């Protein structure tokens, strides 16, 4: 990413969405409960300042081009929303806004709107950080059956540098990439599973740092925040409204810390925890995956699906077979990433998604892994690109030691029967990455903050929610949380109730009753 020289490859093409499971999109009304989050509660109208200005409309804009059909086609989506328009654009951003490193790169953006979205409605900026391409995430949400948010505001997704349609990182050689994808499962070595995972991550680290130096640490959340502010500057507005989901919530918080006077709205959807070590975050993610899988299993039984009366037992047996190499070259990690990809989706009908995933898994149990291989490839394209590896490793702090993972493995295998062993090993991939500065977090916020979550988030979990609401409250902001009782990621994609709350908040910063529950 140096000036006049590209270290990065062409834009990665992400794969299609597939059938998923868990609770589906809900249009039922919200239910308020008396359940205060650890942050500062929403203030009463008597204490509130004058109504804030509406979301700013860009005075100058990017050069947008219609890409509805192409985008839906790339991700294998069929729009369930009449009048949906997707528009693509790109803009140039500095590698280092501080000027310590030179050069620029291309940032990919996608604008989603409806034919009935008000022309004078200011946009909300969306980022999913390193979890998945923001463009892919928004495209999936926009093509789904829920349109409440898009009917009120256009949403502009910005791909994080190195990911998706932003100039993409290409630094891991194919043999190493295969080892990373499999967590070293098929590496010929006398080493145990822990050391094989460490070796795969170390080899990927060496290849990426050699390729990217001296810019290998220029992929963290601080730089991602700069890229968002470049969009604000190009728009010619003083403030922007942000939606950050999962890891993207860290990017949004970093933006609020670095540019506190430039935030007009802040929605944190299923935020990852803050101020904690990577093993704790890994366990929170694993808890979310297990909860999402449990929701799938419950629905599966109710539908008399092909996995029988004990879907959890059937899939646990499938995972054991994968761990034994029966499905090689398909690894355990790839199988589980494919299942996670399905569990994360909130598109379409929940029952159809559940039966679809059940069919894929039961076919694999019968030794026909063709559909499972396709699902695993979709998971790989969504979650395991080189740019995501670099960004996640750069963001992370306090990676676990190999012995620490060995000590945890048996406990997690018992506690989390589907994902436990894999989750512990995955936490080792970045253990060799050079330490980067920690994500800046706001110590002062003058904008109310809306925090959303759900009962079964397979990408982030919800164990870190209290750390986020606590941080926001300590920064002096009014904060309110609302939870969808369904499962998937992001939460906004599956709940019309949450979308309605977000529309109200976007209009005038009005927060719902803290602890509001939205039924599945």
pLDDT at 47: 56
Question: Do 313 and 451 form a contact (C-beta atoms < 8 A)?
Answer: no
**Structural domain ending residue among the three candidates 382, 401, 426:** 426
Q: Is pLDDT larger for residue 221 or for residue 13?
A: 221
Q: Is there a single domain that holds both residue 420 and residue 462?
A: no
The answer, yes or no, to whether residue 277 has pLDDT greater than 90, is yes
Question: Do 110 and 123 form a contact (C-beta atoms < 8 A)?
Answer: no
Q: Is there a single domain that holds both residue 334 and residue 297?
A: yes
Q: Mean of the pLDDT values across residues 456-464?
A: 97
The answer, yes or no, to whether residue 52 has pLDDT greater than 90, is no
Report the candidate in 312, 278, 317, 343 with the shortest Cα–Cα distance to residue 494. 343
Q: How far apart are CA 209 and CA 118, in angstroms?
A: 46
Q: Is there a single domain that holds both residue 371 and residue 385?
A: yes
Per-residue pLDDT tens over the stretch 101-154: 889 999 999 999 999 999 999 999 999 999 999 999 999 999 988 999 999 999
Burial of 200 (0-12, 13-18, 19+ CB in 10 A): buried
Q: Is there a single domain that holds both residue 445 and residue 307?
A: no
Question: Do 468 and 451 form a contact (C-beta atoms < 8 A)?
Answer: yes
CA terminus-to-terminus distance, the chain: 44
Q: Is there a single domain that holds both residue 114 and residue 232?
A: yes
Has residue 37 been placed in a domain?
A: no
Q: Is there a single domain that holds both residue 344 and residue 401?
A: yes
Q: Is there a single domain that holds both residue 450 and residue 505?
A: yes
Q: Mean of the pLDDT values across residues 29-40?
A: 42
Has residue 286 been placed in a domain?
A: yes
Give the torsion sign (CA, 334, 335, 336, 337): positive
Q: Mean of the pLDDT values across residues 394-415?
A: 93
DSSP 138-170: HHHHHHSS--HHHHH--EEEEPPTBSTTSSEE-
With b meaning 16 or more CB within 10 Å and e meaning fewer, what string describes 328-346? eebbbbbbbbbbbbbbbbb
With b meaning 16 or more CB within 10 Å and e meaning fewer, what string describes 135-148? bbbbbbbbbbbbbb
Q: Band of the pLDDT at 4, cuts 50, 70, 90?
A: very low
Local structure of 432: helix, strand or coil: coil
Q: How many distinct helices (H) and strands (E) make up the chain?
A: 17, 12
Domain extent for 508: 63-167+216-275+441-518
pLDDT at 6: 38
**Structural domain ending residue among the three candidates 368, 395, 426:** 426
Q: What is the mean pLDDT of the chain?
A: 91
Per-residue pLDDT tens over the stretch 468-520: 999 999 999 999 999 999 999 999 999 999 999 999 999 999 999 999 999 98
pLDDT at 49: 57
Report the candidate in 514, 276, 488 with the shortest Cα–Cα distance to residue 400. 276
44: left (phi over 0), alpha (psi -120 to 50) or beta: beta
Q: Is there a single domain that holds both residue 287 and residue 325?
A: yes
Q: Is there a single domain that holds both residue 333 and residue 197?
A: yes
The answer, yes or no, to whether residue 459 has pLDDT greater than 50, is yes
Q: Mean of the pLDDT values across residues 404-412?
A: 93
Q: Is there a single domain that holds both residue 300 and residue 410?
A: yes
Total domain count for the chain? 2
Q: How far apart are CA 207 and CA 410, in angstroms?
A: 32
**Structural domain ending residue among the three candidates 395, 426, 457:** 426
Q: Is there a single domain that holds both residue 290 and residue 408?
A: yes
């Amino acid at each position: 990413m140096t000036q006049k020289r590209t270290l990065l490859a062409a834009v990665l093409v992400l794969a299609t969405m597939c059938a998923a499971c868990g609770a589906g999109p809900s249009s039922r009304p919200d239910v308020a409960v008396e359940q205060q989050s650890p942050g500062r509660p929403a203030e009463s109208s008597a204490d509130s300042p004058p109504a804030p200005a509406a979301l700013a409309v860009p005075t100058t804009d990017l050069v947008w081009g219609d890409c509805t059909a192409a985008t839906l086609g790339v991700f294998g989506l069929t729009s369930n929303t009449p009048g949906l328009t997707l528009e693509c654009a790109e803009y140039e951003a500095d590698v280092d806004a501080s000027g310590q490193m030179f050069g620029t790169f291309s940032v990919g953006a996608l604008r989603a709107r409806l034919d009935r979205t008000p022309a004078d409605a200011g946009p909300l900026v969306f980022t999913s950080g390193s979890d998945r391409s923001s463009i892919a995430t928004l495209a999936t949400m926009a093509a789904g059956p829920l349109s409440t948010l898009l009917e009120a505001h256009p949403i502009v997704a910005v791909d994080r540098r190195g990911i998706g349609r932003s100039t993409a990182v290409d630094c891991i050689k194919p043999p190493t990439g295969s080892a990373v994808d499999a967590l070293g499962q098929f590496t010929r070595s006398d080493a145990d599973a822990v050391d094989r995972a460490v070796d795969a991550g170390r080899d990927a680290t060496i290849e990426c740092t050699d390729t990217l130096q001296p810019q290998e640490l220029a992929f963290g959340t601080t730089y991602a925040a700069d890229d968002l502010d470049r969009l604000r500057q190009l728009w010619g507005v003083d403030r922007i409204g942000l939606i950050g989901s999962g890891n993207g919530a860290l990017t949004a918080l970093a933006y609020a810390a670095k540019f506190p006077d430039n935030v007009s709205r802040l929605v944190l959807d299923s935020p990852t925890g803050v101020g904690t070590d990577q093993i704790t975050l890994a366990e929170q993610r694993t808890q979310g995956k297990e909860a999402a899988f449990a929701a799938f299993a419950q629905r599966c039984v109710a539908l008399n699906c092909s996995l029988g009366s004990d879907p959890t037992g059937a899939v646990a047996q499938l995972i054991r077979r994968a761990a034994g190499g029966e499905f090689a070259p398909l690894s355990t990690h790839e199988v589980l990433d494919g299942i996670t990809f399905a569990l994360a989706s909130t598109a379409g009908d929940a029952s159809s998604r559940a039966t679809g995933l059940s069919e894929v898994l039961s076919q694999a149990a019968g030794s026909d892994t063709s559909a499972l291989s396709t699902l695993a490839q979709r998971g790989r394209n969504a979650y395991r690109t080189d740019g995501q590896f670099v960004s996640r490793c750069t963001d992370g702090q306090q990676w676990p030691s190999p012995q620490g993972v060995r000590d945890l493995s048996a406990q997690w295998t018992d506690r989390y029967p589907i994902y436990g062993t894999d989750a512990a090993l995955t936490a080792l991939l970045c253990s060799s990455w050079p330490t980067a500065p920690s994500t800046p977090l706001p110590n002062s916020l003058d904008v109310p903050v809306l925090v959303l979550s759900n009962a079964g988030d397979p990408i982030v979990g919800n164990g870190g929610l209290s750390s986020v609401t606590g941080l926001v409250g300590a920064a002096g902001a009014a904060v309110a949380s609302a939870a969808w009782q369904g499962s998937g990621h992001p939460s906004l994609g599956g709940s019309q109730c949450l979308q309605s709350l977000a529309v109200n908040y976007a209009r005038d910063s009005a927060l719902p009753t803290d602890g509001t529950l939205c039924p599945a």
